[in-house]
Amino acid sequence: DAGVIQSPRHEVTEMGQEVTLRCKPISGHNSLFWYRQTMMRGLELLIYFNNNVPIDDSGMPEDRFSAKMPNASFSTLKIQPSEPRDSAVYFCASSSGLAGRQNQFFGPGTRLTVL
Amino acid sequence: SQQGEEDPQALSIQEGENATMNCSYKTSINNLQWYRQNSGRGLVHLILIRSNEREKHSGRLRVTLDTSKKSSSLLITASRAADTASYFCATGGIFQGGSEKLVFGKGTKLTVNP
């Protein structure tokens, strides 16, 4: 079992550039979550999908952030344009049930640094 | 503000001692979960306790839930240096906005000294 796969593991970019983070959930899981973790704000839920449909995107900071899930085995989180305050660790997680009812399996995270 | 808040923020103990971490929350939940995060890694699920349960065990872990006080505790018995990590509580339920989700606290950083 490969677990949740995220890429890249580290990303360093300059302000204004587009950043795309990728996630492959555990096969058979029907819910996928994107989180952001910083020292100041802790772990924040950005968006989650159930059966490839966005259910709650209230945590997406602003229009610069967008997420897609074109199929059950792939999701992307895009930041365009990126800003220094977007620097954080971004986690993808998946679960076999509705959000909040089942345990979630986390990927290793993408550490994003925006200069 | 956070739905779940852990206490203490940091805890340092000696190997072999027990570690107790607490979590308080504000609104009704359908379950509460504890996760562990080693430095530089993703979170790992430890245990889930449902709102109609009062206590649950898993190996050296013991979790209690008091819905009347809106609080939970995680006890790690006979701690080991390998238990050094951050521990997060997460509450599952329907929160602001009307969607069901899992909301994480800011965590307790546990250090177990050999």
Which tens digit of pLDDT belongs to each residue from A13-43? 999 999 999 999 999 999 999 999 999 889 9
Q: Which residues, given as ranges, of chain A have pLDDT below 70?
A: 1, 99
Three-class DSSP labels, A7-35 = ECCEEEECCCCCEEEEEECCCCCCEEEEE
Q: What pLDDT, on a 0 to 100 scale, did the predictor assign at position B95?
A: 67
Q: What pLDDT, on a 0 to 100 scale, did the predictor assign at position A79?
A: 97
- Residue among A6, A40, A103 with most chain B CBs within 10 A, to mutate: A103
pLDDT at B1 over 50: no
Q: Identify which of A76-90, B22-36, B91-105 has the greatest average pLDDT.
A: A76-90
User: Averaged over B58-78, what is the pLDDT?
Assistant: 97
DSSP B51-80: TT--EEEETTEEEEEETTTTEEEEEE-S--
Q: Are A71 and A21 in contact (CB under 8 A)?
A: no
User: Averaged over B52-66, what is the pLDDT?
Assistant: 97
Chain B residues lying within 8 Å of A4, measured CB to CB:
42
Record: contact B45-A98, CB cut-off 8 A: no
- Identity of the residue in B93, B94, B104 whose CB atom sits nearest the CB atom of A43: B104
Q: Are A89 and A36 in contact (CB under 8 A)?
A: yes
Record: contact B33-A103, CB cut-off 8 A: yes
Q: What pLDDT, on a 0 to 100 scale, did the predictor assign at position A61?
A: 87
